[in-house]
Structure 1
Amino acid sequence: MKVNQVEREFLRQLISQLEEAGVSREQLFCELRARGVATSGAPQAAFAGSEAIILVETAVDISRDHCLMLGLGQELGVASYGSFGFALMSCASLRESVQLLLRYGQVLFQPSWTAYEHEGGLFLRANVTLGTAAQQQLVTELIFSNLSAVGRSLYENQVESVEGVEIQLSYSKPSHSACYNSAFRAPVTYDCEHSQLFLPPQVLDTPVKTANRSEHVVFQQQCEEILRGLNSVEKTTAAVRQLLIQSAGDFLDIAQVAESLHVSERTLRRRLDAESTNFRATFEEIKDLLAREYLVKTELTVAEIAHLLDYAETVNFRRAFVRWNGVTPSQYRLQQF
């Protein structure tokens, strides 16, 4: 998952919504340029920060649809978030989903969220700070509508319909508040100090309907690699690690990795060497990382883990694991508990 994948998917969905309202892509980009946003209108264009705020406001203005952001939030599905979305889908519960959002949302997405405990429950607060009050309201409509839609896809109606769940918004009730009724199933309160969602204690352990512990290990590690890559000076190694984790279960070989990075195998080897590593060492590091995560976070047998890591024989996996960690997989699992 690229860091700007979400922005590109947001733009694609936004243009689709505008076209349904009779506004062309060309009209949108022409108006953006008139408002000082430099853009070529290329299909892979992406917007972030203040430019994204102007994009949102411009779209609402030229469509004359005050409910546009509420509708757009409903259209952005959990899969729009790439590895992060799949990690959410594989979480065990709402509580774990929130922890995931707090860890990766701070870096990968804007605006970010902050959680505050309250009487056993949780306030999930949106940090919307950029733009004017009117622009902040549009962004708030978008992210809370999307949060609601993603929540329904993960927990069906087991959360929003529970007594005590409440959406609190920091602005006054808008003239188009009727649109909120279709976007939100939970009650909405206006003129609050903060824009936030309150989750009472009885919903925090609501199971995710698509929970899968072994898949969650892989998707969460993909998110970890994205965070690692953002601050890494070893860009080639970080890119190789991401590709290997993404291909877990059917690992790419060095030729396939080189092809994915659009370089020759020789160039890839040279770049890894310049970063004081090599493909085999990086590959084994990823296998060791995933093996330890599977052992601690799942109930998979050693044989099943060996299979997931592409070992034809369990004994070969055991030997490799002992070489990496000095103990057998079973001993390692016992040590963690």
Structure 2
Amino acid sequence: MTPTRLQLDLYEQLLAELKKSGVMPDKFFKRAAAKGWSTANSAHPAFNGFDSVILLMTAIELTKDPSFAMRLGRSVDITSYGTLGFALMTCANLRESILLLLRYGKAFSLPQWEAHEHNGGLLLRLGVLSTAPEHIRPVTELCFAQLSVTGSSLYRGQIQGAELQFAFPKPAHSASYKFALNVDVAFDCQYSQLYLPAHALDTPVRTSDPSQYVVFHQQCEEMLRGLGRAEKITSEVRRLLIQSAGQFPSIAGVADSLYMSERTLRRHLSRESNTFRSILEEVRNLLASEYLTKTDLAVGEIAHLLEYSETVNFRRAFLRWRGMTPSAYRQQTRP
């Protein structure tokens, strides 16, 4: 399986943090390989699977830094999540960001989180970790440090009333938790989880952008669909068009991105009973519906984003797709 950007970035940052601690790469690689690091000779080594636990525990051993996992977690920022990171940054508030994280995290190899309502607020609980008991604390620290950095990218300052609860005893290096995680911390709890009070869920995301949210959200949805099926040319074309919303490439441009000729692309699409034009229409239909229901953009602005030279042409197309005008659709689908 091809590593995700996050897995590659974590691996690179792990090496960078080791260098800061004076640990030579050769020594680290040799020790990790002796512990069973299976991708030591891979062309693209990454921080994934059980190998990630081996790499993390080896780094802690060689640096003699028990807080190394939190250092590593804070060394990657939200852009390492790729499309999901940008989607999170365009959400309206933390509630919306959390819903995206829960739905699409799996597609981007993020830790698995569960949401539970509590006292009007929300408990964001780390899923069960399939690792040895002695590895649970550092792996948990890594996951919550990543979550903390993600939160810092979405809002400024500390959220009043928030608390991190850990299902293990207070460690000797507990003083580093407050700095690394920027939230009140409790130990010996039933679960490892973050509690967010009700008022915190409505905290605005400082980089909110409704029109970009629609695009990134649809890209995430395409990636999630791709987990359960073999990639097809149609889905690849659809993904590229959604990704390029506002500047749709020509069929020649898409073919170039897929490393094939235009003729070959047309032939593949024909085998899948599809055409480039119909996929473009489908994407325009999808994005138009999302813009109308989830943003306050004027119909003329939406027409421009979908590359219609005249608003009237967009209205005609939408009437063909939905059997009603864009304004009527917006009125019908909004509460």
Q: Tell whether the 8 Å contact from 1:84 to 1:223 is kept in structure 2 after alignment.
A: yes
Query: Could you tell me which residue of structure 2 aligns to residue 17 of structure 1?
Result: 17
Corresponding residue pairs, total: 333
Query: Could you tell me which residue of structure 2 aligns to residue 223 of structure 1?
Result: 220
CA distance in 2, matches of 1:281, 1:117: 43
Q: Tell whether the 8 Å contact from 1:217 to 1:293 is kept in structure 2 after alignment.
A: yes
Distance 1:269 1:125, change over 3 A: same
Q: Of the candidates 146, 154, 175, which is equivalent to residue 172 of structure 2?
A: 175
**What's the RMSD between the two structures over aligned residues?**
1.7
Kindly state the Cα deviation for residue 186 of structure 1 after the two structures are TM-superposed. Answer: 1.6
> Are 1:335 and 2:332 an aligned pair?
yes
Unaligned runs of 5+ in 2: none
Q: Of the candidates 186, 196, 200, which is equivalent to residue 197 of structure 2?
A: 200
Kindly state the Cα deviation for residue 158 of structure 1 after the two structures are TM-superposed. Answer: 4.7
TM-score w.r.t. the length of structure 2 is 0.94
| Aligned positions of 1:69-218 closer than 5 A | 69-159=69-159, 162=160, 164-218=161-215
Q: Which amino acid aligns with 1:143?
A: C
Kindly state the Cα deviation for residue 110 of structure 1 after the two structures are TM-superposed. Answer: 3.9
CA distance in 2, matches of 1:150, 1:6: 13
Q: Tell whether the 8 Å contact from 1:29 to 1:41 is kept in structure 2 after alignment.
A: no
Q: Tell whether the 8 Å contact from 2:3 to 2:48 is kept in structure 1 after alignment.
A: no
Query: Could you tell me which residue of structure 2 aligns to residue 308 of structure 1?
Result: 305
Kindly state the Cα deviation for residue 275 of structure 1 after the two structures are TM-superposed. Answer: 1.6
Which secondary structure state, in structure 2, belongs to the residue aligned with residue 147 of structure 1?
Answer: helix
CA distance in 2, matches of 1:26, 1:243: 40
CA distance in 1, matches of 2:73, 2:298: 41
Q: Tell whether the 8 Å contact from 1:228 to 1:238 is kept in structure 2 after alignment.
A: no
Kindly state the Cα deviation for residue 131 of structure 1 after the two structures are TM-superposed. Answer: 1.1
Kindly state the Cα deviation for residue 3 of structure 1 after the two structures are TM-superposed. Answer: 6.8
Q: Tell whether the 8 Å contact from 2:308 to 2:314 is kept in structure 1 after alignment.
A: yes
Kindly state the Cα deviation for residue 36 of structure 1 after the two structures are TM-superposed. Answer: 2.0
CA distance in 2, matches of 1:20, 1:42: 24
TM-score w.r.t. the length of structure 1 is 0.94
Unaligned runs of 5+ in 1: none
CA distance in 1, matches of 2:79, 2:107: 18
Q: Which amino acid aligns with 2:297?
A: L
Kindly state the Cα deviation for residue 105 of structure 1 after the two structures are TM-superposed. Answer: 1.6
Kindly state the Cα deviation for residue 298 of structure 1 after the two structures are TM-superposed. Answer: 0.3
Q: Which runs of 4+ in 1 moved over 4 A?
A: 40-43
Deviation per residue, 1:57-103 (Å, 9 max, x gap): 12222222221111122221111111100111011111111111111
Deviation per residue, 1:189-219 (Å, 9 max, x gap): 1111110000111211011111111111111
